[in-house]
A and B are shown apart, each in its own frame.
Chain A
Amino acid sequence: MSVIIILVIASLIIALIFLFAFIWSVKKGQYEDDYTPSIRMLFDSETTQDETKDKK
């Protein structure tokens, strides 16, 4: 029966990881604009590489 304790704790930890991922994404502003990324992803990779370089 004690195995259930470990399972519950493990599942809670995994769920918490997702919760924090969610909070992080909200704080990063990913829910701010849900339309532009759909346009942005159509641009050629050359530009996206440039963008990542610029970020650094």
Chain B
Amino acid sequence: MVKETYTSEKISCYHCGDECQDKHIHREEKVFCCEGCKMVYEILNENSMCEYYDLEKNPGITQKVKVREGKFAILDDENVQGKLIHFNEGTNSHTQFYLPQMHCASCVWLLENLNKLDKGVIKSQVNFLKKNITVIFDNTKTSLRKIAEVLTRIGYEPHISLQDVSKKKITTYNRSEIIKIGVAGFCFGNIMLLSFPEYFSIKNSPDLNINALFSWLNLLLALPVFFYCATGFFTSAYHGIKQKFLNIDAPIALAVLITFMRSIYEITTQSGAGYLDSMSGIVFFMLVGRYFQNKTYDSISFERDFTAYFPLGVTTLDKEGNEKQVSVAELKIGDRIKIHNEEIIPADSILFMGKAIIDYSFVTGESATVDKTIGEIVYAGGKQKGAAIEMEVVKEVSKSYLTQLWNSEVFNEQSTKKTTSFVHKLSRYFTYMLFSIATLSAIYWYFNDASKILDAITSVLIVACPCALLLSATFTNGNMLSLLSKKGFYLKNSDVLERMKGINTIVFDKTGTITQGSLSAIEYYGDALTEEQQLLTGSLLRQSSHPLSKAISATLPNNKRVSIKNFWEEKGKGISAIVDQVDVKIGSKEFVGEKNSSNENYSGSKIYVRIADRTPGYFLVKGKYREGLEAVIAKLRATNKLVVLSGDNDSEKDQLKKIFGEGTEMFFNKKPEDKLEYIKQLQGEGKKVMMVGDGLNDAGALAQANVGIAVSDNTNNFSPACDAILSGTQFNYFFELIKFTRKQKTIIVGSFIISIVYNIVGLFYAVSADLEPVIAAILMPASTFSIVLFTVGMSSFFARKVPTDIYHIKS
């Protein structure tokens, strides 16, 4: 293996901290790696904002890649403004930008002092975890475009995608949920306090009926709980019943309703103190549990489709060649568009000017670029690397090769994945049992003491509502989700946890999922190349823009210029030239004329080198598999059927066979739709399928699968819509993580047994129509607390067994 080493002293840029190459720029004893970094420094220096550099060392973002002027011209469009500006207050406008570059305290400081750089900005506030900035600005002094440009100038180019304007903002955060918890907690606490005289049977003093007064106060406090906090349960139960379906909220709604009714009756007739403390307690704990379970991750989004990747505007050319910024959504067939460096091609188009070097890593996870020549169709989703190209749109944005995947029904049917959880089934069974106990006790009392019938029925329903069961489920799920996120496995919601259990087939994508996207291992086999030979090979390889050439030449020295004559490239075969008067050929075995079939055990791409009339050896380029892949696969194979489903060619088939073992089905050259269809086919055979993928081309399969998991090396990066995101570094522990999710049932069953014990005790009092308020008051919180402790403790215990390479993750 050939390696190049740098021995020169490292100088890092004052602004971005990048290592400075040979030509660095000095200014006031400070060194910068490029003009861009120096410019940002100057802007900050002029505005006396150099505190930016004091807070963190080299906080800047490298400016080597210039952002094209006029990129944000689209923001002057009123239609676009209307979508991006959240609201206007007189001349003040509120807007929000997503700044993926944000990474340190200095960033926060600089961005919150934006008003020093643009006087029109009134206030800017950063949300660090969400990486966004809320800007309030005076729209008479500045504009959306100017702010975007100021941000770009200091290195924080806002990411404005098509999704920002095409969809309504999805608010993951619900303020009213928190308020409901606060109000319920307040009422619950006070009702309990005011119930103390009742619990301890304090006698009324002759001149004052304390118990009556307190119970009326309790009723007053219970009103907001019943009419405000509990509304969610009632509406949900109502919708369920309307569809003739007893859902999970129905028993809670029933218990709350009956408790409330009976309490009103007791208080108004002064026959008792009611069970308002239990009622508000149920509501309070259920709300807390729900909140805990539905907590979302700030920095992760599970709902991305292609619109989140696509830019907002694109440059179009009219017949006279005038450039104009147009919203991507308005692109029509026949439009001429100009794609600049680092821009995404928004629709399938024919290239008619310039050299297209397309990076499809978004789509396939494959990092090697693809060259396209004039007249070829370039599919949407690729990113141009290099000089601007001009092309003609041949398909609308939504009908392009990649994007039409989203027209598939999997993306519209919300309910396809809904499963009835076992907790739900259990709770329904429980509810029926409850009704039969209530009926039985009613029958018993009918024959013995008819006046106690109502008493007994209501007591049964109050005491034995399946709240404990539901609570244990919500708390177990909530805690498991948060524990998993600490291990680098982010689940969309608790429903995914439920679906994980039945999985028996796991389908893997190849590139980017089991291989590490950007890294490919290059090894050299054969007679070692002399320094002279390395130079010749390297010089020839550098003439070609083929990804393999680029990858190999990066490992070879480049210290001398040599003459290259008669350069010849045969597509898909190899390259040849006379380098420094020596005939050099690099390419496939046939191309270099090598006959000797050596070692065939290795798979991957073999690149033979022929210098003069000798073939010293070949380079082996293989996709680098994730560390510990073999061990993970071996463990998973024991209990699951495994399948490899790749969009790539089958060059690594032999290598994959070794890892996955004989008999594992492998499919190559699969299009995005094929992947989706294949998953459907498996499901048709009754398999429960988990899809593990990474690129946009897996999006359909991820959506169709029972559980779709996206592997991502950087969780802040884009990943396609999915049910869960697995951090790439945790891939080694995939098996342990799945095993952990299956513990959910054990824990819930365990806590269910505890709750049954409590229920039996409670029911004993209830059927005898002798439920003292103090017993209800003790039983309810005691059962709740012990169940919460049990579930949290158990899940934390099981989570300890899952190893992790991550020490601290902010979710």
Query: A47 at the A/B interface (Cβ < 8 Å)?
Result: yes
Task: Judge whether A15 and B127 touch: CB under 8 Å.
Answer: no
Query: A12 at the A/B interface (Cβ < 8 Å)?
Result: yes
Interface centre among B128, B173, B213 (most CB of A within 10 A): B128
Give chain B residues whose Cβ lies under 8 Å from the Cβ of A27. 175, 179
Name B217's closest neighbour in chain A (CB-CB): A8
Task: Judge whether A33 and B129 touch: CB under 8 Å.
Answer: yes
Task: Judge whether A26 and B178 touch: CB under 8 Å.
Answer: yes
Known: A31-B175, A39-B105. A23 touches B182 (CB 8 A): yes
Q: Mark A17-55, 1 if CB is under 8 A from B, else 0.
A: 011001100110101110110011011100100110011
Contact of B208 among A2, A19, A23 (CB under 8 A): A2
Query: A6 at the A/B interface (Cβ < 8 Å)?
Result: no
Name B132's closest neighbour in chain A (CB-CB): A33
Q: Mark B168-208, 1 if CB is under 8 A from A, else 0.
A: 00000101001100110010011000100000000001011
Looking at the assembled complex, report how far the CB atom of B762 sits from the nearest CB atom of chain A, in whole angstroms: 30
Contact of A1 among B105, B129, B190, B205 (CB under 8 A): B205
Contact residues, B115-131 vs A (CB, 8 A): 115, 122-123, 126-130
Query: B801 at the A/B interface (Cβ < 8 Å)?
Result: no
Looking at the assembled complex, report how far the CB atom of A11 sits from the nearest CB atom of chain B, in whole angstroms: 8
A32 to B128, CA, bound (A): 11
Task: Judge whether A36 and B126 touch: CB under 8 Å.
Answer: yes
Looking at the assembled complex, report how far the CB atom of A40 sits from the nearest CB atom of chain B, in whole angstroms: 7
Give chain B residues whose Cβ lies under 8 Å from the Cβ of A16. 186
A23 to B51, CA, bound (A): 36
- A-B contacts, CB under 8 A, total: 73
A16 to B221, CA, bound (A): 11
Residues of A in contact with B, size category: 20 to 34
A38 to B524, CA, bound (A): 51
Stretch at the interface among B106-114, B140-148, B276-284, B369-377: B106-114
Task: Judge whether B179 and A42 touch: CB under 8 Å.
Answer: no
Looking at the assembled complex, report how far the CB atom of B99 sits from the nearest CB atom of chain A, in whole angstroms: 13
A12 to B214, CA, bound (A): 12
A40 to B207, CA, bound (A): 58
Give chain A residues whose Cβ lies under 8 Å from the Cβ of B207. 1
Query: B55 at the A/B interface (Cβ < 8 Å)?
Result: yes
Task: Judge whether B210 and A19 touch: CB under 8 Å.
Answer: no
Contact of B210 among A1, A15, A29, A35 (CB under 8 A): A1
Interface centre among A36, A47, A50 (most CB of B within 10 A): A36
Looking at the assembled complex, report how far the CB atom of B137 sits from the nearest CB atom of chain A, in whole angstroms: 12
Known: A22-B182, A47-B109. A4 touches B210 (CB 8 A): yes
Task: Judge whether B115 and A54 touch: CB under 8 Å.
Answer: yes
Known: A32-B127, A35-B810, A43-B109. A26 touches B190 (CB 8 A): no
Give chain B residues whose Cβ lies under 8 Å from the Cβ of A22. 179, 182
Known: A1-B205, A47-B113. A36 touches B128 (CB 8 A): yes
A36 to B208, CA, bound (A): 54
Looking at the assembled complex, report how far the CB atom of A20 sits from the nearest CB atom of chain B, in whole angstroms: 10
Task: Judge whether B178 and A31 touch: CB under 8 Å.
Answer: yes
Looking at the assembled complex, report how far the CB atom of B669 sits from the nearest CB atom of chain A, in whole angstroms: 45
A35 to B129, CA, bound (A): 7
A8 to B197, CA, bound (A): 13
A42 to B208, CA, bound (A): 57
A28 to B411, CA, bound (A): 35
A15 to B183, CA, bound (A): 11
Contact of A36 among B108, B115, B173, B190 (CB under 8 A): B108
Give chain B residues whose Cβ lies under 8 Å from the Cβ of A5. 208, 213
Contact of A40 among B108, B129, B178, B213 (CB under 8 A): B108
Task: Judge whether B178 and A36 touch: CB under 8 Å.
Answer: no
Looking at the assembled complex, report how far the CB atom of A33 sits from the nearest CB atom of chain B, in whole angstroms: 5
Task: Judge whether B190 and A15 touch: CB under 8 Å.
Answer: yes
Task: Judge whether B105 and A42 touch: CB under 8 Å.
Answer: yes
Contact of A39 among B108, B130, B190, B298 (CB under 8 A): B108
Looking at the assembled complex, report how far the CB atom of A14 sits from the nearest CB atom of chain B, in whole angstroms: 11
Give chain B residues whose Cβ lies under 8 Å from the Cβ of A32. 127, 173
Looking at the assembled complex, report how far the CB atom of B577 sits from the nearest CB atom of chain A, in whole angstroms: 56
Looking at the assembled complex, report how far the CB atom of B188 sits from the nearest CB atom of chain A, in whole angstroms: 12
Looking at the assembled complex, report how far the CB atom of A24 sits from the nearest CB atom of chain B, in whole angstroms: 10
Known: A15-B186, A19-B183, A26-B179. A43 touches B55 (CB 8 A): yes
Known: A1-B208, A33-B129. A26 touches B182 (CB 8 A): yes
Contact of A51 among B108, B112, B128, B189 (CB under 8 A): B112
A22 to B181, CA, bound (A): 11
Task: Judge whether A8 and B194 touch: CB under 8 Å.
Answer: yes
Contact of A35 among B112, B128, B190 (CB under 8 A): B128
Give chain A residues whose Cβ lies under 8 Å from the Cβ of B109. 43, 47
Given contacts A8-B194, A47-B113, 9 further A-B contacts (CB under 8 A): A15-B186, A16-B186, A23-B179, A26-B179, A29-B175, A33-B129, A40-B108, A42-B105, A54-B123
